[in-house]
């Protein structure tokens, strides 16, 4: 019957209405060019194989604009602060042809990457320093997803403080889609005078060293107080690294909460909510936030002083780190958060060997010496462990300042008062050790023998001696 070959008229109407709705209701998106003010320059991949990222990277002095209208001769990777964004997928091979065009020797350390010791950039252990005019090829596999970063390991307070650092983002193709529109945020600071010249890296003498020198200008991806455009209500995923040589970053966004989903070594077991985001020097954070407000409003993401010890919050105002300008479009509807769960195997502290460290300082005539177990790095004997060992480290702080403690090459699990890994679990390579407190973690050495450094990531402290070596033997 002819009437059965055509759908009834009412059905057709519904179909047409649905099609029209489909066209009108595109999924909400960020405004065109929303991240232009902070977008990082991607490194150019010279190898067309998908599983190999091969780049050239040059350290050199280049003019950057920090104080408006003046040029600062900063120390840069490829001419900018921060250096280019390196991006790979877990399991990829990364090859970096590094050239040193600075007037000083340097190396590159790949903070957090579980690579071979020979590629770790530790001068005298991994490789000789790369002299001015010299070059070195780094060639390693990135086994883990997460946000990593690179910086020099020679005279690091000066070299990083002058602008040498960059991000290495390793994607996990298997992680949930739709976590949010991604921004990689390299937070740092730099000391620049009004005339544009770099500040004195030894300013304040011993007192400057013990406090840890903070720069005069906060930088977000190398920019002072940039403005990100956003669609209200639409979730963003911030991949944050604190690359400052001493400054702790504590960020607040009024009337908003952050959902932290990951840290140094990729995703956590499950997300945690927080009002403020604290990232100590060297640490990373992976957070979700949905900026909300009236269309056209500007939100202020503020740096809030964090009390890291004696006098560190005294008379210090909050500073605007960056702004979020909301587009004129109406607030986007809530998007359900995809399930974020990672299974992390707890390391067993029970069978572990113990390592006890104290973070110390030694007063005397001349320069202040900081150290570990009473001796500065240049007098210390390396710790010794073997491949396959599990150890519990207790790092005790004897000073009136916090210290962000970092171990090269291996991730660890921080232990709570009950001696078990803190929940939700996460893999870390840098952890804050509070004033007069102690931090304990459990670590297992997988099959990568060699000399590995550990140190305070307040780089003024590291260079003053708060650094040591771990020899993992085969």
Stretch that binds ligand C2O, among 75-83, 316-324, 349-357, 452-460 (CB under 6 A): 452-460
Sheet holding 412-415, edge to edge: 369-372, 353-362, 390-397, 438-444, 412-415
Q: Which does 253 bind (CB under 5 to 8 A by kind): Cu ion, ligand C2O, none?
A: none
Q: Is the dihedral of CA 425, 430, 435, 441 positive or negative?
A: positive
456 binds, among Cu ion, ligand C2O, none (CB under 5 to 8 A by kind): Cu ion
- CA 222 to mean position of chain CA atoms: 14
Partner from ligand C2O, Cu ion, none contacting 235, C-beta within 5 to 8 A by type: none
Number of H helices, E strands in the chain: 5, 29
Please tell me the distance from the alpha carbon of residue 294 to that of residue 50, in angstroms, as a whole number: 43
Under the binding rule (CB under 5 A), the answer on residue 241 touching Cu ion is no
**How many Å apart are CA 351 and CA 453, to the nearest integer?**
24
Binding window for ligand C2O (CB under 6 A); candidates: 5-13, 27-35, 334-342, 449-457: 449-457
What 3-state DSSP class applies to 3? helix
Whether a cis peptide bond, with omega within 30° of 0, leads into 82 is yes
Looking only at residues 107 through 146 of this chain, which bind Cu ion when binding is defined by CB under 5 A?
111
- Decide: is 428 part of the binding site for ligand C2O (CB under 6 A): no
User: Which residue number, 268 or 407, has a Cβ lying nearer to ligand C2O?
Assistant: 407
Single out the residue of 219, 301, 458, 469 in contact with Cu ion (rule: CB under 5 A). Answer: 458
Decide if residue 408 touches Cu ion (CB under 5 A).
Answer: yes
For the record, the structure tokens of 411 come out as: 């991730």
Q: How far is the CB of 406 from ligand C2O (least distance, A)?
A: 5
Q: Please report how close the Cβ of residue 345 comes to ligand C2O at its closest, in angstroms.
A: 25
Region near Cu ion per CB under 5 A, out of 19-27, 82-90, 293-301, 451-459:
451-459
Kindly indicate which of the ranges 175-183, 218-226, 299-307, 459-467 contains the residues binding Cu ion, using the contact rule CB under 5 A.
Answer: 459-467
- Among positions 352-371, residues that touch ligand C2O (CB under 6 A) are none
Tell me the C-alpha distance between 471 and 289, whole Å. 41
Q: Which of 239, 247, 455, 461 binds ligand C2O (CB under 6 A)?
A: 455
Contacting ligand C2O within 105-134 (CB under 6 A): 109, 111
Phi, psi of 98 (to 5 degrees): -95, 135
Per-residue binding letters, 387-406, with Cu ion (x by CB under 5 A): ----------------x---
Residues 151-170 that bind ligand C2O (CB under 6 A): 151, 153
**Minimum distance from residue 436 beta carbon to ligand C2O (Å):** 24
The tokens for 453 are 């450094």
DSSP assignments along 398-460, one per residue:
-SSB-EEEEESS--EEEE-TTSSBPSSP--BSEEEE-TT-EEEEEEE--S--EEEEEEESSHH
151 interface partner picked from ligand C2O, Cu ion, none, CB below 5 to 8 A per type: ligand C2O
Closest CA to 360 of 350, 349, 347, 370: 370
- Binding interface with Cu ion (CB under 5 A): 111, 403, 408, 456, 458, 461
């Amino acid at each position: 019957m002819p009437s059965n070959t055509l759908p009834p008229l009412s059905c057709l109407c519904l179909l047409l209405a649905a099609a029209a709705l489909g066209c009108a209701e595109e999924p909400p998106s960020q405004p065109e060019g929303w991240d232009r003010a902070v977008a990082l320059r991607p490194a150019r991949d010279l190898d067309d194989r998908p599983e190999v990222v091969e780049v050239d990277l040059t350290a050199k002095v280049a003019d950057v604009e920090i104080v408006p209208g003046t040029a600062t001769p900063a120390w840069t990777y490829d001419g900018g602060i921060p250096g280019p964004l390196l991006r790979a997928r877990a399991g990829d091979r990364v090859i970096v042809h590094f050239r040193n065009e600075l007037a000083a020797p340097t190396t590159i350390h790949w903070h957090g990457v579980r690579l071979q010791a020979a590629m770790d950039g530790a001068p005298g252990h991994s490789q000789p320093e790369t002299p001015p005019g010299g070059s070195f090829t780094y060639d390693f596999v990135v086994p883990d997803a997460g946000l990593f970063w690179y910086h020099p390991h020679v005279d690091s307070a000066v070299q990083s403080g002058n602008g040498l650092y960059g991000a290495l983002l390793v994607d996990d193709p298997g992680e949930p889609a739709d976590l949010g529109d991604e921004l990689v945020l390299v937070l740092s600071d730099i000391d620049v005078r009004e005339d544009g010249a770099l500040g004195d890296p030894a300013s304040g003498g011993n007192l400057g060293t013990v406090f840890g020198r903070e720069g005069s200008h906060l930088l977000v991806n190398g920019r002072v107080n940039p403005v990100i455009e956003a669609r209200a209500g639409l979730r963003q995923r911030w991949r944050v690294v604190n690359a400052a040589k001493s400054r702790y970053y504590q960020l607040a966004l009024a009337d908003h909460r952050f959902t932290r989903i990951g840290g140094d070594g990729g995703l956590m077991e499950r997300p945690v909510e927080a009002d403020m985001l604290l990232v100590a020097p060297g640490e990373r954070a992976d957070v979700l936030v949905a900026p909300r407000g009236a269309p056209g409003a500007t939100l202020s993401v503020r740096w809030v002083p964090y009390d890291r010890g004696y006098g560190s919050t005294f008379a210090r105002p909050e500073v605007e780190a960056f702004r979020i300008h909301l587009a004129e479009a109406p607030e986007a509807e809530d998007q359900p958060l995809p399930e974020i769960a990672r299974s992390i195997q707890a390391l067993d502290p029970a069978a572990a060997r113990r390592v006890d460290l104290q973070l110390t300082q030694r007063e005397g005539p001349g320069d202040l010496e900081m150290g570990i177990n009473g001796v500065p790095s240049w007098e210390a004997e390396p710790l010794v462990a073997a491949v396959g060992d599990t150890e519990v480290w207790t790092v005790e702080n004897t000073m009136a300042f916090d210290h962000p403690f970092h171990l090269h090459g291996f991730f660890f699990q921080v232990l709570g008062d009950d001696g078990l890994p803190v929940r939700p679990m996460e893999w870390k390579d840098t952890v804050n050790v509070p004033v007069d407190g102690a931090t304990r973690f459990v670590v297992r050495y997988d099959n990568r023998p060699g000399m590995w450094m550990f140190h305070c990531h307040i780089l003024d402290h590291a260079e003053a001696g708060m650094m040591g070596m771990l020899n993992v033997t085969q």
